[in-house]
Amino acid sequence: SIVDAVLGVLHHRNDLSGETVLITAGGTREALDPVRFLGNRSSGKMGYALAEAAERRGARVILVSAPTALRPPANVEIVPVITTEEMRGEVINRVDQASIVIKAAAVADYRPIRQSGQKMKRQGPLTLDLEPTADILSEVVARRHPGQLIVGFAAETENAVAHGRDKLLRKGADAIVLNDVSREGIGFDSDRNAVTFLTAQTSLDLPEMTKRDLADRILEEILGLRRPQHVVSETGTMFE
């Protein structure tokens, strides 16, 4: 409603005005042949909700999107990609413009070493040799400019907080948004989710809510990283 929209604008006070937020979303795909691919279950909904929320709060938003079934949010610069390598290239090309980077995409961590140019025929057992894809988050951290905030996502199924913090420290991101994908009924494909917002020092459980509401809560936590109680990271810069 109009009242909600007005309250929303008042509430958020355009607090991302002047920021450029680069968001990745969706699940990348690695082709085995012209028909088959290795993919993952990301619907892209969380990344698209973040893009919409950041735009509403006044940011310029660049959305580097792997395939999804979603309609792109209005007033967002959308950059479509398929593979992890394409996503890497488009992110690296644009990351210097961004004051905030949010890597919500689920990248295919592996790709076939060999692709078949023709459709493979079903026959007996088949062995597929896979190699790791580029680690985009680590590359973004390596190029970080002063004041740039870098937030990753992690989907974990066991010891989620321990694995999430390990990823945070290993990659040097400012925060990791942790999805425990072993929980039923939220997360993949759902319009709702619950996550843990992890920094090197803190762990904040954000309870189940709509992905759109969660997007606003995550953006608030990201902006909170600029407040002095946080040490952003060894290679980052503290503000205020």
Q: List residues forming the annotated binding site for CTP.
A: 109, 119, 153, 167, 171
Single out the residue of 28, 37, 101, 232 in contact with a second copy (rule: CB under 8 A): 37
The piece of 11-19, 39-47, 54-62, 220-228 that touches a second copy (CB under 8 A) is: 39-47
As a whole number of Å, the CA-based R_g of the chain is: 18
Contact status: 181 vs a second copy (CB under 8 A) = yes
Helix (H) or strand (E) holding 221: helix 211-224
Binding-site positions read 109, 119, 153, 167, 171
Return the number of other C-beta atoms located less than 10 Å from residue 116's C-beta: 14
**Residues in region 53-82 near a second copy by CB under 8 A:** 69
Contact status: 41 vs a second copy (CB under 8 A) = yes
Single out the residue of 12, 39, 86, 212 in contact with a second copy (rule: CB under 8 A): 39
CA 191 to chain centroid: 16
Single out the residue of 132, 145, 170, 191 in contact with a second copy (rule: CB under 8 A): 132
Q: How far is the CB of 39 from a second copy (least distance, A)?
A: 5
User: Residue 45 and residue 48: Cα distance in Å, rounded?
Assistant: 5
The DSSP call for residue 24 is: E
Return the number of other C-beta atoms located less than 10 Å from residue 85's C-beta: 17
Single out the residue of 10, 114, 126, 240 in contact with a second copy (rule: CB under 8 A): 126
- Report, as residue numbers or ranges, the catalytic residues: 40
Q: Which CB atom, from 45 or from 57, has the smaller least distance to a second copy? A: 45
User: Residue 27 and residue 228: Cα distance in Å, rounded?
Assistant: 35
Contact status: 138 vs a second copy (CB under 8 A) = no
Helix (H) or strand (E) holding 155: strand 149-156
Return the number of other C-beta atoms located less than 10 Å from residue 22's C-beta: 29
Single out the residue of 135, 139, 208, 213 in contact with a second copy (rule: CB under 8 A): 135
Contact status: 119 vs a second copy (CB under 8 A) = yes
How far the first Cα of the chain sits from its last, in Å, is 37
Q: How far is the CB of 169 from a second copy (least distance, A)?
A: 15
Q: Which residues contact 198 (CB under 8 A, 6 or more apart)?
A: 161, 164, 165, 168, 175, 176, 177, 178, 204
Binding residues (CB under 8 A) for a second copy: these are 29, 32-41, 69, 106, 108-110, 113, 117-120, 122-133, 135, 155-158, 181-182
